Structure 1
């Protein structure tokens, strides 16, 4: 099933990194909420910070929410 949310944060890998995808493009590997915010800022959401990432309904968190960074 495709997500109706344009941003997907995948489950943590063995090192705690989580892939971040916007629409069909992988932006990189995040190791914290700050990293996710930085990727989204680079993607055009310049005003976003860590609290926007935690609260946003535009983000689908797979394998745990924004508090999960270990495998």
Structure 2
């Protein structure tokens, strides 16, 4: 895909997933709540509604909403 402005990268060895928004690192999400907070800070107040929209979010490597042991 590569066109979504938000990328949730594969699970890191320490758990969690790096999140980039328009090419800028937003942080390491360990849950959907972390991801929603990063997106809220970036100006997307309804982030929970776009997390599964491939036009907005590209989930790389592994299943969406899995963060390496922390879960949702």
**Which of 58, 61, 64 matches 1:60?**
58
Provide the rounded CA distance (Å) in 2 between the counterparts of 1:59 and 1:29. Answer: 15
Count of aligned pairs between the two proteins: 68
DSSP 3-state at the match of 1:10 = strand
TM-score (norm 1): 0.81
RMSD over equivalenced CA pairs, Å = 1.9
TM-score (norm 2): 0.80
Structure 1 gaps, min length 5:
none
DSSP 3-state at the match of 2:10 = coil
Q: Which residue of 2 aligns with 1:13?
A: 12
CA offset digits 1:35-71 (Å, max 9, x no partner): 111100000002323x542x22211101123232228
